[in-house]
Structure 1
Amino acid sequence: MTTQIHFTKMHGLGNDFVVLDTITQNFKPEPQLIRRIADRNFGIGCDQVLIVEPPADPHLDFNYRIFNADGKEAAQCGNGARCFGRYVYERGLTGKKTLEIGTVSGKMTIDISDLSCIQVDMGPPIFSPKLIPLNIKAVSKLPKQGCYKIQLLGNHRDVVILSMGNPHCVISVPATTEAAVHEVGKALQKHPAFPKGVNVSFVQVLARNHIKCRVYERGVGETLACGTGACASVVAGILHNELNPEVKVDMSGGGLTVKWVPEGPVLLSGPAVAVFHGQFSIHIQDAF
């Protein structure tokens, strides 16, 4: 028996997604099937697969699930959230312009009143080691909030560690073009400080309202853009008194805007683009 599954290929600054819903069709996100969908040679190809589900909480509009290309479920994705908002609106699943959605990491708000620049309320940054999660025995705490010293590849580095719904380690670099993104990012996935892996941001400050950023995402590798990585990078810069409350973030795929006032939520704004619609067939054994 085969089933036709309809999807939309989308991206936020080149951070690309396969988006599908389980409201109008039956789909079970098994890890093996997610990996095959995400495969760029033998599948559709994407960084993450995004699933639209009916809300578990009647006060919310939808449930939002994210699966990395390795098949593992992630707790948050800012670029994906913007694509999620545009998808449900343009596919006629909602007529609302402000959406309250549930995720593994909690509730988030998406403002789609301007489809050319969608804003997501990412909630406040999380610094609790238990919630990140962070093994504090594997790092040395520094005086400023979220700041640590970590041993990495034979050197000690000052970093900022926090969660934006998923764990982030932010590293300041003189130039993002010269950052050892793959080497350092891959090494940190196995570091004892991060029991569930970590997204790693490499940040170059250009001005108080402008940074460059490259991100190695756990379960994916380096992506053209990472919304939560942009948020974490701006939070880190503000904590170090290097950035203003509103910052333009240049990533390989384009620019995002991040706003944050300490103690408040982080607001992420940027584009979300639908590339094409398609369908694939799956057997009950999960091949397509």
Structure 2
Amino acid sequence: MGSVVKFAKMHGAGNDYIYVDTSLYDIPEPAELARKWSDRHKGIGGDGLVLIGRSLVSGADFTMRIFNADGSEARMCGNASRCIGKYVYEKGLTDKTSIKLLTRAGIKTLILNMDGNNQVESVTVDMQEPCLADRHLLATANGSMREGAVTVCGQELRGTFVSMGNPHFVIFTDDAETVDVARLGSTLEVNPLFPERCNIEFASLLGENRIRTRVWERGSGITMACGTGACATAVAASLTGRSGRRSRIVMDGGTLDIAWNETDGHVYMTGPAEFVFEGEMKME
């Protein structure tokens, strides 16, 4: 007989995860649990599993571990971090509206934006500085690529590499709606150009500083939104002269506001976080 675990299903702009407070439960095999519970037919259904913990590290209030639907562990997730901000505040785990969250990509600051009923309406995340060159994540001579050409499925695509704690390859196209995201994204994710696989974004301009983006997420496939992907898209658009340092990223599940601050070089992401439902599952 397995133990019963209480969970919350939450989403940020449609990017949905299963959240468990590990101060209440021991989760010995999170990768396997993520695979089972993320199944949308036989499990709870979601893009992965997020474990919330109390931080023992000075300078951080809580910790986040995130496992994709295929069981792989991610370094960072912008949408999940926003949901954690809402979770810990509305569950009474903290009364702070500025929260330090320890992730595998470092400590992130969450600013909770409250409504008139003292509920979390949206969350702003300091995603810190983007990384534009990393030879561990991109197999080029200098670990960078801006509007670089890659041939995939017989097509030449041009993309820009941006890491927001996890790697992204942003491809601008005339119309993102017409792109075969499943075919091109799945192929690009495992391209030898990306030694640790990669998140792939297909983006097109909707207007001034407004960008339509569709996502193939490493380890999860097509997702409704990706917070780090929205940040990477905004940075890539600014780098290539397609937008300014502030942009609205329109994804399948909603819109995120991204600001790449000139003063500190940090990327700030603002967007919604919502509870979907709560329940109990048996952990075999």
TM-score class normalised by the smaller sequence: over 0.9
SS of residue in 1 equivalent to 2:235: helix
- Return the offset for 1:253: 1.0
Match of 1:122 in 2: 127
- Return the offset for 1:58: 2.3
- Return the offset for 1:91: 1.3
Match of 1:277 in 2: 278
CA contact (8 A) 1:214 1:252 kept: yes
Letter in 2 for 1:264: G
Displacement over 3 Å in runs of 4+:
139-142
The runs of 5 or more residues in structure 1 that have no matched partner are: none
Number of aligned positions between the proteins: 278
Q: 1:140 to 1:102 in 2, by over 3 A?
A: closer
TM, length-normalised to structure 2: 0.93
- Return the offset for 1:129: 2.0
- Return the offset for 1:171: 0.3
Q: 1:140 to 1:77 in 2, by over 3 A?
A: closer
The runs of 5 or more residues in structure 2 that have no matched partner are: 115-119
Letter in 2 for 1:135: A
In the alignment, the residues of structure 2 paired with residue 176 and residue 200 of structure 1 have an alpha-carbon distance, to the nearest angstrom, of 12
- Return the offset for 1:148: 2.4
In the alignment, the residues of structure 2 paired with residue 47 and residue 105 of structure 1 have an alpha-carbon distance, to the nearest angstrom, of 19
- Return the offset for 1:151: 2.6
Q: 1:114-153 counterparts in 2 under 5 A?
A: 114=114, 115-130=120-135, 133-136=137-140, 146-153=146-153
- Return the offset for 1:140: 9.9
In the alignment, the residues of structure 1 paired with residue 21 and residue 241 of structure 2 have an alpha-carbon distance, to the nearest angstrom, of 42
CA contact (8 A) 1:140 1:149 kept: no
Q: 1:53 to 1:186 in 2, by over 3 A?
A: same
Match of 1:237 in 2: 237
Letter in 1 for 2:139: N
In the alignment, the residues of structure 2 paired with residue 158 and residue 42 of structure 1 have an alpha-carbon distance, to the nearest angstrom, of 38
SS of residue in 2 equivalent to 1:170: strand
CA contact (8 A) 1:203 1:211 kept: yes
Identity of aligned residues (%): 37
CA contact (8 A) 1:79 1:226 kept: yes
Match of 2:168 in 1: 168
CA contact (8 A) 2:30 2:67 kept: no
